[in-house]
């Protein structure tokens, strides 16, 4: 007879707490899209506005500030006329690339399962 492994409540609680921590940082409609847009390129504010369809300038500014506070994005002001502001993922922010790719893969599979097409 095969004995099933015992449920480790403490480990489960730690994992749930870690997921809550991650979701607190990545919550909302826009943050994951912003991070995904910055995974491969440094982008100016206006480029991000075009990349993240539907976001307002005010909301993008707020979300970028929050991502900057959480050390996921850096903001660089270039001394040009007019002033140019660029955003890029920090080294720490790049650790989310695998998470974004996994979410995208799951999303493709889910869409295919539900609709029968990509």
pTM listed for this prediction: 0.83
> In the prediction, which pLDDT does 8 show?
81
What would the pLDDT profile of 82-108 be if each residue is shown by its tens digit?
999 999 999 999 999 999 999 999 999
pLDDT of residue 116 exceeding 70: yes
Q: Three-state secondary structure along the chain? A: CCCCCCCCHHHHHHHHHHHHHHHHHHCCCCHHHHHHHHCCCCEEHHHHHHHCCCCCHHHHHHHHHHHHHCCCEEEEEECCCCCEEEEEECCCHHHHHHHHHHHHHHHHHHHHHHHCCC
What would the pLDDT profile of 51-81 be if each residue is shown by its tens digit?
999 999 999 999 999 999 999 999 999 999 9
53 or 117: which leads in pLDDT: 53
> In the prediction, which pLDDT does 13 show?
86
Bridge partners (DSSP) listed for residue 89: 73
> In the prediction, which pLDDT does 4 show?
62
> For the chain, what is the mean pLDDT?
91
């Amino acid at each position: 007879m095969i004995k099933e492994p015992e449920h480790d409540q403490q480990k489960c609680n730690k994992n749930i707490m870690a997921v809550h921590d991650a979701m607190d940082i990545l919550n909302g409609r826009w943050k994951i899209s912003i991070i995904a847009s910055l995974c491969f390129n440094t982008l100016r504010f206006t480029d991000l506005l075009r990349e993240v369809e539907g976001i307002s300038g005010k909301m993008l500014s707020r979300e970028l500030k929050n991502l900057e506070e959480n050390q996921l994005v850096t903001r660089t002001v270039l001394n040009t006329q007019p002033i140019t502001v660029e955003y890029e993922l920090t080294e720490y922010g790049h650790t989310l690339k695998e998470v974004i790719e996994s979410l995208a893969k799951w999303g493709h599979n889910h869409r295919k399962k539900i609709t029968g097409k990509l």
